[in-house]
Amino acid sequence: MKRALITGITGQDGLYLGELLISKGYEVYGLVRGQNNPKLDVVRRVLPEAKLIFGDLTDPSSLTRTLNEARPDEVYNLGAISFVAYSWENAGITSDVTGKGAFNLLEATRLYAGDNPASVRFYQASSSEMFGKVQEVPQRESTLLWPRSPYGVAKVFAHYMTINYRESYGMHASSGVLFNHESPRRGPEFVTRKITRAVARISLGLQETVALGNLDASRDWGFAGDYVEAMWLMLQQDVADDYVIATGETHTIRELLDVAFAHVGITDWQKYVTQDERFMRPAEVDLLIGDPEKARSALGWTPRVDFKQLVEMMVDADLDEQRSLAR
Ligand code: NAP
Ligand code: G4F
């Protein structure tokens, strides 16, 4: 039985990856932070088989203890402060967790693996946010990185540290450069879930309007359940490498609003949407669209859920949730 350690198990991807690995017969360990983490109940309900260990990416000794307890064959570093907007106001802690936290885990894993650095396989959750002010369309593994937020800068540091540990120590360390991926488990602070939840509430008469920021940005949105499969596939390869994971399609926030509102029978959504300076960013990433060709040819990975299916799945889940809350 293979053993896997997931940091960020309480997050969207952590839950999907935990389910996938358990379905494949893995013994799953999850790192959980904080003394009374409110998301623990969700993890225990969704992943009752997972063994949870308390620690923090900013605390190297807790990572050493966690690795000694979990004795993993595979380490998935999904833990991060992941909300881009938050990272301007909290750049220091974002650097510590999202950037240096990845280094802390790489170093703890290298020491844990001892004489055979490649014996423990390592996955780093890199991000299309690293492309920032994009230097090429579509973005691929070789595209120059130009991050536009403290979060993006921290991810670039973690990305290059992962490559550096592979090249310096021969670690089996791979980076997945994942484009935006969403699901009914997405945090409500992200634009997809903010919109699908508001659409559900507006259609049920529970809310009048939703305030948003820039409606013209474009994102390459996929389904998180598809994307965690790519993470696992990367660690099953003989040689570690970096891969762009994307759908190859891009849509604006306006198109997202079209699909989400249309699903509840509303075509004139403009009267339900206001624009608010508070949700504008100091520097925007205007256009993301990935080229997933390398993942398709080397990993055999392709996304199954398309943009419309994704948005409709999220609206349906939010309708169910809002109806049950109203009962
Ligand atoms: P998420 O839902 O925000 O989950 C982030 C996870 O990191 C949570 O479990 C969180 O724990 C944990 N965490 C935060 N601070 C930590 C710390 N100091 N020590 C240990 N764990 C900590 O993010 P996600 O959407 O699942 O994304 C997973 C990873 O992929 C993240 O690294 C993200 O930056 C990256 N990524 C995401 C996307 C995307 O579109 N979703 C795209 C590219 C890359 P708490 O629950 O305790 O806060
Ligand atoms: O949903 P978002 O907050 O996601 P963002 O910034 O693209 O970051 C997500 O994807 C990255 C991968 O590229 C991950 F690495 C990162 O961890 C995270 O998961 O914003 C998407 C777009 C932005 O252009 C933003 O300006 O939506 C725009 N937007 C417009 N109004 C809004 C809003 N975003 C949010 N969160 N809230 C709004 O009201």
Q: Report residues whose beta carbon is within 6 angstroms of any ligand 1 atom.
A: 7-8, 10-14, 31, 33-34, 37, 39, 56-58, 78-82, 97, 101, 125, 127, 178, 180-181, 187
User: 215: CA distance to ligand 2 center in Å?
Assistant: 11
204 φ, ψ (degrees, to nearest 5): -95, 5
Residue 38: asked if its preceding bond is cis (omega within 30°), the reply is no
Q: Could you identify the residue written with the tokens 């079209």?
A: 258
pLDDT in tens, 279-316: 999 999 999 999 999 999 999 999 999 999 999 999 99
Neighbouring C-beta atoms of residue 106, cutoff 10 Å: 24
Catalytic-labelled residue, pool 62, 127, 175, 203: 127
Q: Retrieve residue 119's tokens.
A: 């014996």
Annotated active-site residue 129? The verdict is: yes
The C-alpha atoms of residue 94 and residue 158 are separated, in whole angstroms, by: 12
DSSP state of 100: I
What's the confidence (pLDDT) of residue 143? Answer: 98
127 is catalytic: yes
Question: Where in the chain are the domains?
Answer: 3-181+222-245, 187-219+250-288+306-326
Q: pLDDT of 45-100, one tens digit each?
A: 999 999 999 999 999 999 999 999 999 999 999 999 999 999 999 999 999 999 99
Which pLDDT belongs to residue 138? 98
Give me the count of residues in the chain: 327
Domain 187-219+250-288+306-326 in the same topology as domain 3-181+222-245? no
Q: How confident is the model at residue 223 (pLDDT cuts 50, 70, 90)?
A: very high
Instruction: Return the CATH number of the domain spanning residue range 187-219+250-288+306-326.
Output: 3.90.25.10
Catalytic residue among 26, 74, 126, 129: 129
Peptide bond just before 138 cis, omega within 30 deg? yes
pLDDT value for 73: 98
pLDDT tens-place string over residues 181-217: 999 999 999 999 999 999 999 999 999 999 999 999 9
DSSP lists the bridge partners of residue 182 as: 223
Burial of 327 (0-12, 13-18, 19+ CB in 10 A): exposed
| Residue pair 171/119 in contact by the 8 Å Cβ criterion | no
Q: Does residue 105 contact residue 63 with C-beta atoms inside 8 Å?
A: yes
Q: Which residue in 175, 165, 40 sits closest to 113, CA to CA?
A: 165
Reply yes or no on whether the pLDDT at 170 is more than 90.
yes
Among the options 16, 76, 112, 151, which is catalytic? 151
Query: Which residue's CA lies nearest to atom 28 of ligand 1?
Result: 78
Could you give the count of Cα atoms lying within 13 Å of 325 in the half-sphere of its Cβ? 11
Domain 3-181+222-245 has CATH 3.40.50.620: no
Interatomic CA distance for residues 212 and 234, integer angstroms: 36
pLDDT computed for residue 279 by the predictor: 98
Pairing of strands 121-127, 172-178: parallel
- Residue 290's beta-bridge partner residues? 139
Q: In this model, does residue 327 exceed pLDDT 90?
A: no
| Residue labelled with tokens 């949105």 | 221
